[in-house]
Amino acid sequence: MSLIKPHGSDELNPLFVYDTAKNEALQKEAKGLASIVVSSATAANAVMMGSGYFNPLTGYMNKADALSVANNMKTTSGLFWPVPVLNLVQNAGSIKAGDRIALKDPNVEGNPVLAIMDVKAVEEFSDADVELICKSVYRPSDKEAHPGVDAFKAQGKIMLSGPIQVLNFSYFQTEFPDTFRTAVEIRDEIKERGWKKVVAFQTRNPMHLAHEELCHMAMDRLGCDGLVIHMLLGRLKKGDIPAPVRDAAIRKMVELYFPPNSAMVTGYGFDMLYAGPKEGVLHAIFRQNMGATHFIVGRDHAGVGDHYGAFDAQTIFDNEVPAGALKIEIFKADHTAYSKKLDKVVMMCEAPDHTKEDFVLLSGTKVREMLGNGIAPPKEFSRPEVAEILIKYYQSLGK
């Protein structure tokens, strides 16, 4: 049985130059090219295209495609895609259409060349274009600032579009050698493990008992033989737990509480957009590209603050994603928590006879406070072995 097809093509087409001689020749060529240090978001887009996660894109979108994606979730050629994939700059200098340029990495010391780009167009967004994209992609509320909108606006309004050849995976491969995996590598490993039905779980946090049980629940209900825990390894917001700590906590949980050959712990190189529903759809696309047949979308998926309704990232798949646009299927999850009545973790929507008091619920602030004081949360909330790793981290902050 062959794996699920990637999005938009029969074969995965990663933009990374795997041929060593060719890669070295391009690195050499880059030295003689005009270059720009790109934004962190542009660099992350290059890594995702290089890894095959953004299949079938061949480079950065032009203005017409970006606005079409913002308005209708498809490019001018009709490819279904939820968010613009851009190379935005404050100032293009003397760069013009037809130029071949080197894109330099803002996140690695010395700004090494990340990719080579053939510039097809240099265009500018109007203020109205910027507002349209912010409104339709990030859907900010009027009440509070939105980190995704702020990051988008900070990059500039001038866009360079055109195909790229990716030469390295930025800091992801060097800083997270055991965890960073391309879509190509994950597909290969799924094949090697002989998995047929695979569910993916997105996380940017350590996994507590409720997350762990949600994964077991999804695997059981869908009849999956494999789970890919897929961690975001890119730039996060202040206060988020660093990737190495998350990684250690999740690996410990898998080692102790999942059967052998049932779960893979991996990560991908991208910056969080905090774009809620639209980001949920993007997450589904790149999970399909890495070979997952199912994807868990939970409550407030990819959300931030109160910008989105609790289940907006689920309803978008019913209301706005055209039938047949994606091959991957969504497993819709409610908030999961430990039921004192039933003595197990349940989805809250499946326990209608419960009141809030019947669940073990702790706020993130309360959990951080406990861990910082060296106190493990109750076993109904967090595995003791996971709590131990997190306690060490929080206590190191206080020193």
β-pairing, 226-232 with 263-268?
parallel
Distance CA 357, CA 339 (A): 9
The structure tokens 């309803």 sit at: 315
Q: Are 285 and 5 in contact (CB under 8 A)?
A: no
Q: Are 199 and 329 in contact (CB under 8 A)?
A: no
Neighbours of 31 (CB within 10 A): 9
Q: How does 305-334 read in b/e, with b if 16+ C-beta sit within 10 Å?
A: eebbeebbbbebbeeebeeebbebbbbbbb
Measured distance CA(103)–CA(115) in Å, rounded: 5
Sequence-separated (6 or more) residues with CB below 8 Å from residue 365: none
Catalytic amino acids? 204-205
CB-CB contact of 265 with 251 (8 Å): yes
First to last CA, the chain: 54
Phi/psi-derived region of residue 167, left when phi > 0, alpha when psi is between -120 and 50, beta in every other case: alpha
Residue 232 CA to chain centroid, in angstroms? 5
Q: What is the DSSP string of 23-92?
A: HHHHHHHHTTSEEEEPPHHHHHHHHHHHTTTTTT--EE--HHHHHHHHHHSB-TT--B-SS----EES--
Query: What does each C-alpha distance from 379 to 341, 384, 387 come to in angstroms?
Result: 15, 6, 9
Q: Strand, helix or coil at 214?
A: helix
**How many of the other CB atoms lie within 10 Å of CB of 399?**
4
Helix (H/G/I), strand (E/B), else coil: 313: helix
Give the span between the Cα atoms of 218 and 222, in whole angstroms. 6
